[in-house]
Structure 1
Amino acid sequence: MRLYYFKNAEDLAKAISARLGIDARQIEERDFPDGEVLVRVEPAREVALIARLYPDVNKNLVKLYLALDALTDYGAERIVLVAPYLPYARQDRRFREGEPISSKTVLSHLKLYPVTHVVTVDLHKAYISDYVGGIRFINIYPSSQFAEVLRRWNVSHVLSPDAGSLGRAEALAKALGASYDYFEKFRDRETGEIYMRPREGTSLQGKAVAIVDDILATGGTLVDACKNARMLGASAVYAAVTHCMLLGNAREKIKGCISALYCTNTIPCEYSSVDIARPLAEALASIL
């Protein structure tokens, strides 16, 4: 099997190829002045393709589909797609009448090609893999890697900002040997405004707390959860977020409340201290 990668995933590709002992080759890419793109691949029967799809998700998705199409035309019989962050996963159902299920739309294109597996990190909702029956998803949550960096702070309680992330809180709490819980969150579908309140009877007095989530975009949810944790008596509030976009003034928002932020390098940023190359390599080794 050959390991191919797009240029923006070179760091992951080299780390994974070193662990697996296989050669990594970069896909040739071109961006034209009119916004169109082109790729060029080397033919291979079996391919593992690493695609970092954020930022510029729309352009990168087109490049991905073009690469998959070219590989298929040149005889690829098996393709394993490694997409550390899978875009459009948050639109996993119709929230309002007339909307598409965007995650289904994006994933449905994979069924056109001999993609047998998708290896990803902390998929927003695991059930969206059901939209592409026949393709096996390996969804990694780096709980042990987060635990390694949080253990130094003696975190005794893990919090999810809502019930949807409770599985993440449970996994990290188990790795830390800590307790866990979640906040109740309500979102206005028209305005996007979020309302959050702690569950009845929750007390964090004197505890070092870690808040977990899959995505940090504008920082509103994380900061609201942090403020609620502080109001409940938390002595320190840390954050373990898998995909850190840090849009707008998110950096300024979190500095006012979060004691320390830990992100993975699915989306590289100054907080990407948690390397997911090892679990990605382990996932690939299990299926190659």
Structure 2
Amino acid sequence: MNSLTKKVIVFSLNSDLLAASLSEKLGGHLGQYSSRDFPDGESYLRIESNVENSHCIVVADLSHPNKKYLPLIFLLDTLKELGAKSVGLVAPYLSYMRQDRRFIDGEAITSKLFAKSISKHIDYLVTVDPHLHRYHSLDEIYSVPSVVVQGAPVLAQWLKGQSNLFLVGPDSESEQWIISIAKVSGHSFVIGEKNRKGDRDVEVSLPDLSAQAGLAAVIIDDVISSGQTILSCISALKKKGIKDIKCAAVHGIFADGVDQSLLESGLSSLITTNTITHPSNGVDISSVLVEPVIECLSKVKGVSI
């Protein structure tokens, strides 16, 4: 590891295991701070580590972001005030990417507003598989250097070496993603067809699976939010006679406790990466964050590697 990373201090807003793993791989160390709420609900924060002339990284899962926003801003700005040479944000899950245009007059384009606000407090951003729908790049809304990390290679490496299974992409949108994973993992795959009738009314149909008889199915997705697509895919697999069904995803949001519904529907295992802290975390994403962090550090003004 280069000399720059020896000055790295990694702070965790809410992702302790990921922060610890990233810190170890960077050759840095974990930062310490204490926080609590006053009786009136305001925040107290004290940085306990000496951060002067250090490169600080804050690891923060930004799912369900509203309660996390102020604590994050207070932490980022206090690190700068205390003399950190740089302050970067590793947001393994990046929120406020959904509203990327004004669909109805008067609507707030919250993706732009959030990006503009966060950019004022950080020197760079590293994130994993953000929802880039109408944006081609985070550079369109973030004014600091940013790197988007793909989660597919991590899932592919996790799958590699596992036998007697095939991969399932629940819809055509997942096809390119599944193909890239299958090339590395060496497994066959099928792609389903999704018919969305409403936010919570989804029907998935699958092709003939006679060639996969006796194999376990692993449904692969980038993010599980409402879980309705996965539930429908499980049902479709059962109708095709597949008995062993697993599911793996990069981001597990699991709105309204749908993770329990997924397990009760017949999944033999539910695995996610640790972009969002959850009991299903079975794949560590930190290995693919190291080089992007170093890349961003190299772009920080006044920093040389």
Is TM > 0.5 for Structure 1 vs Structure 2?
yes
**Equivalent of 1:141 in 144, 151, 155:** 151
Q: RMSD over aligned Cα, in angstroms?
A: 3.0
Counterpart of 2:275 in structure 1: which amino acid?
T
- 2:282 counterpart (261, 268, 273): 273
Q: Which runs of 5+ in 2 are unaligned?
A: 1-6, 298-305
Taking a change above 3 Å as real, the CA distance of residues 238 and 96 of structure 1, as seen in their structure-2 partners, is: farther
Aligned equivalents of 2:183 and 2:230: distance in 1? 21
> What secondary structure is seen at the aligned counterpart in 2 of 1:203?
coil
Query: Kindly tell me: are residues 145 and 251 of structure 1, through their superposed partners in 2, closer, same or farther at Cα, counting changes over 3 Å?
Result: closer
Name 2:3's counterpart in structure 1: none
* Residue among 208, 230, 233 paired with 1:203: 208
What is the letter of the counterpart of residue 66 of structure 1? Answer: F
In structure 2, what is the Cα distance between the partners aligned to 1:141 and 1:285? 18
| Distance in 1, Cα, partners of 2:104 & 2:233 | 26
Identity rate, percent:
28
Amino acid of the structure 1 residue aligned with 2:29: D
Q: How does 1:160-171 map to 2 (within 5 A)?
A: 160-171=169-180
Alignment of 1:4-153 (within 5 A): 4-6=10-12, 8-41=14-47, 43-45=51-53, 47-54=55-62, 57-74=65-82, 76=84, 78-94=86-102, 98-116=106-124, 118-125=125-132, 127=136, 129=138, 130-149=140-159, 151-153=161-163
The CA deviation at 1:273 is: 1.2
- Distance, in Å, in 2 between the alignment partners of 1:38 and 1:14 is 23
The residue number in structure 2 matching 1:173 is 182
Q: Give the greater-gyration-radius structure (CA).
A: 2
Once the two structures are superposed, residues 235-288 of structure 1 have per-residue CA deviations (whole angstroms, 9 ceiling, x without a partner) of: 533211122233434234212232321111222322211112222234334444
Cα deviation code 1:138-174 (max 9, x no counterpart) = 3231534454247424223x33333433343223212
> When the two structures are superposed, what TM-score results if normalisation uses the length of structure 1?
0.81
Report the CA distance shift for 1:115/1:276 in structure 2 as closer, same or farther (over 3 A): same
Report SS of the residue matched to 2:94.
coil
Letter in 2 for 1:217: S
Is 1:251 the equivalent of 2:222? no
Distance 2:96 2:163 in 1: 34
Given the superposition, is the C-alpha separation of residues 223 and 164 from structure 1 closer, same or farther in structure 2, using an over 3 Å criterion? same
| Alpha-carbon shift at residue 227 of structure 1 (Å) | 1.6
CA gap 1:114/1:247 in 2 versus in 1, 3 angstroms: closer
SS at match of 1:210: strand
- TM-score, normalisation: structure 2: 0.77
Are the aligned partners of 2:165 and 2:216 in contact in 1 as well (CA < 8 Å)? yes
1:85 counterpart SS class = coil
- Partner of 1:268, secondary structure, is coil
Task: Work out the number of aligned pairs and report it.
Answer: 282
Deviations along 1:3-48, whole A, 9 cap, x unmatched?
2313533322222222222222124323233333243445544534
User: How has the CA–CA distance of structure 1 residues 109 and 77 changed in structure 2, closer, same or farther, with 3 Å as cutoff?
Assistant: farther
Write the distance in 2 (CA, Å) between the matches of 1:96 and 1:228.
36
Deviates more, 1:204-213 or 1:258-267: 204-213
Structure 1 residue ranges without an equivalent (≥5): none
* 1:211 CA displacement: 1.5
Write out aligned runs for 1:181-192 (5 A).
181-187=190-196, 192=199
CA distance in 1, matches of 2:177, 2:32: 33
Residues 94, 160 of structure 1: alpha-carbon distance in 2 compared, 3 angstrom cutoff: farther
| Counterparts of 1:144 and 1:227, CA distance in 2 | 27
Kept after mapping to 2: 8 A contact 1:76/1:114? no
